[in-house]
């Protein structure tokens, strides 16, 4: 009988540990998204967004789009709608080449104290290159986004042709 109790406790301990690890995995999977803060520079904002879009479905489906959404300026969000509408927009013909692209290059084309412009070139999954104009602005309103750099616009893509 003592062995039964002893092994039952081992089994219960094992189940509790597995449950704890499963909960921690679920919690940390969501924690992979970077939140805007005033220490993130304009170039880094674009890099964070592109990295998210490059790995769109890791760790979760559309987490790259959600990461990009977190760094969208509130003014931009007024035009692109809530997150579900933004997900639809990025899955549309106009922007789907950004999803799971193979590589990207970011070049600063202008800067001021409150606004930066970047030329972004990506190599899409279909082995074609596309160019975008990406504009990032500092947010000055009170609240958690104060003094954060956020994306105000992304142009429609210009096709540069195939890499093959």
| Cα three-residue angle 65-139-135, rounded to 5 degrees | 55
- Of residues 136, 130, 133, the one with CA closest to residue 119: 133
Q: Are 25 and 61 found together in one domain?
A: no
* The pLDDT of residue 151: 98
Average pLDDT, the chain: 89
Q: Are 93 and 12 found together in one domain?
A: no
- The dihedrals phi and psi of 23, each to the nearest 5 degrees, come to -65, -45
Q: Are 41 and 86 found together in one domain?
A: yes
Residue with tokens 């789907």: 96
Range of the domain at 24: 1-31
116 class by beta-carbon count within 10 Å (0-12 exposed, 13-18 middle, 19+ buried) = buried
> 28 pLDDT exceeds 50?
no
> How do strand 103-111 and strand 115-123 relate by DSSP bridges?
antiparallel
Distances (CA, A) of 33 to 49, 54, 60, 66: 10, 14, 11, 8
Q: Are 16 and 61 found together in one domain?
A: no
Identify the band that residue 4 occupies on the pLDDT scale cut at 50, 70 and 90. Answer: low
Identify the band that residue 32 occupies on the pLDDT scale cut at 50, 70 and 90. Answer: confident
Distances (CA, A) of 68 to 6, 9, 14, 80, 110: 51, 46, 39, 12, 21
* The pLDDT of residue 164: 72
pLDDT, tens digit, for every residue of 95-124?
999 999 999 999 999 999 999 999 999 999
Identify the band that residue 27 occupies on the pLDDT scale cut at 50, 70 and 90. Answer: very low
Q: Are 8 and 58 found together in one domain?
A: no
- Of residues 162, 159, 152, the one with CA closest to residue 49: 152
Question: Residue 88: which CATH number?
Answer: 3.10.450.50
Measured CA to CA, the distance from residue 65 to residue 86 in angstroms comes to 8
More confident residue, 144 or 31: 144
Q: Are 51 and 128 found together in one domain?
A: yes
Q: Are 72 and 91 found together in one domain?
A: yes
* The pLDDT of residue 14: 58
Tell me how many domains the chain contains.
2
Q: Are 25 and 38 found together in one domain?
A: no
Expressed in angstroms, the distance from the first to the final Cα of the chain is: 72
């Amino acid at each position: 009988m003592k062995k039964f109790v002893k092994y039952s406790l081992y089994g219960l301990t094992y189940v509790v540990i597995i449950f704890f690890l499963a909960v921690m995995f679920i919690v940390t999977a969501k924690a992979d998204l970077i939140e805007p803060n005033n220490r993130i520079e304009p170039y880094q904002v674009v890099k964070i967004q592109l990295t998210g879009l490059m790995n769109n479905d890791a760790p979760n489906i559309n987490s790259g789009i959600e990461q990009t959404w977190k760094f969208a300026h509130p003014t931009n969000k007024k035009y692109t709608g809530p997150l579900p509408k933004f997900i639809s927009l990025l899955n549309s013909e106009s922007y789907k080449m950004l999803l799971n692209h193979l590589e990207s290059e970011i070049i600063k084309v202008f800067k001021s104290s409150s606004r930066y412009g970047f030329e972004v070139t990506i190599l899409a999954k279909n082995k074609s290159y596309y160019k975008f104009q990406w504009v990032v602005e500092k947010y000055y309103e009170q609240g958690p986004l104060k003094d954060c750099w956020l994306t105000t616009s992304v142009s429609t893509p210009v096709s540069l042709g195939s890499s093959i």
